Amino acid sequence: MQTDDTILSIAEAEELIADVLRASGAAEAAARSVARALVAAEADGQAGHGFSRIAAYAAQVRSGKVDGHATPVVAARRGGMIAIDAASGFAYPAIDLAIEELARLVPETGLAGAAIRRSHHCGQLGAHVERLASRGLVALMVANAPKAIAPWGGSAALFGTNPIAFAAPRARGEPLVIDLSLSKVARGKVMAAAKAGQQIPEGWALDREGRPTTDPRAALEGTMIPMGDAKGAALALIVEILSATLTGANHSFEASSFFDAEGPPPGVGQLILAFDPGVTAPDFCDRIEVLLGAILAQDGTRLPGTRRLAARERARSEGLRMPAHLMAEIAQLRAG
């Protein structure tokens, strides 16, 4: 099977995906932005936010669930805070706009925030905040997503896996990037166990009555357990309010699926904050090296993102592997 796979350079993969999206009816700018984000996630070893999304994205443009011609706009602003309307298009063009605006604002405002509404799946959050850290800023991002986690004590999904990402510049090397979702494990692991006919460990998920389960099929009908149990559910609520209530987006329990092409747009939200460390800590980049050095001085530790950077390096030198079944799907999608 491996022999049928195609090896693509990063540029080739971007071109191919942009092509599929254009063929599905997306405008040039949106197609390019989405292609860049999916390829970056795939290169970073985040397969769940990479090539695996192409077909679903294309189908949603075709059905109109995603407006492939939407142009994100700054809908309101005051000082360092802006509201961005993603206009029911893809998330990535809105995030691109947010990053440009934040980087432009911060030299004036010290701290700036972008609240994105009417948005969609935002993929690998770490990659977005990393772009701000590459410009010398400290960045924090939260997002909501279709419901997957129950409120603590409850049994029905209400919060998304509501990820948190953070990035900071360093004196040496690439920015530090931390990216985590608030479910104990990714739902993809439960799907994989269901496919393989295997049990899942207790503590991953609840069935639809809110009882712990080791049956992956019962788990898929139920909810994912938050990391840190009750405290994690409280964090999911914080992220829900910051990324949806505060942005004017749909709450997770109001949002349609990121995967199928049916129904109204998901309309989820994202909040991105950027700090210029020069205002409060001119020696930030030296001090973070002291902190990270103290971590690495302990045996058995590593910094977040180590595997991601290694995967990226490999992708740049060896290219990306597009499985044969996806390549066939893409050929069909390009043909229209």
Footprint on residues 59-78 left by a second copy (CB under 8 A): 76-78
DSSP secondary structure code for residue 3 in this structure:
G
Closest CA to 114 of 146, 147, 78: 78
DSSP secondary structure code for residue 23 in this structure:
H
Residue (279 or 324) nearer to a second copy, CB: 279
The yes or no reply on residue 140 touching a second copy (CB under 8 A) is yes
C-alpha to C-alpha distances, 254 to 144, 209, 240, 247, 326, nearest whole angstrom = 11, 21, 12, 14, 31
Out of 18, 26, 61, 164, point to the residue binding a second copy (CB under 8 A): 164
Number of shown-chain residues binding a second copy (CB under 8 A): 75
Q: Tell me how far apart the alpha carbons of residues 145 and 160 are, in angstroms, rounded to a whole number.
A: 4
Residue (304 or 323) nearer to a second copy, CB: 304
- Per-residue binding letters, 240-279, with a second copy (x by CB under 8 A): xxx-xxxxx--x-x-------------------x-xxx-x
Q: Where are the alpha helices (DSSP H) in the chain?
A: 10-23, 28-43, 54-63, 91-109, 125-133, 187-196, 216-221, 229-240, 277-280, 284-296, 306-318, 324-335
Q: Tell me how far apart the alpha carbons of residues 193 and 201 are, in angstroms, rounded to a whole number.
A: 10
Strand partners, 273: 113, 140
The yes or no reply on residue 190 touching a second copy (CB under 8 A) is no
Residue (14 or 179) nearer to a second copy, CB: 179
How many CA atoms within 13 Å lie on the side-chain side of 308?
A: 21
The yes or no reply on residue 138 touching a second copy (CB under 8 A) is yes
- Site residues (CB under 8 A) for a second copy, limited to 273-332: 273, 275-277, 279-281, 283-284, 287-288, 290-291, 294-295, 298-302, 304
Beta carbon of residue 161, minimum distance to a second copy (angstroms, whole number) = 11
Residue (109 or 257) nearer to a second copy, CB: 109
Residue (17 or 142) nearer to a second copy, CB: 142
Out of 80, 93, 222, 267, point to the residue binding a second copy (CB under 8 A): 80
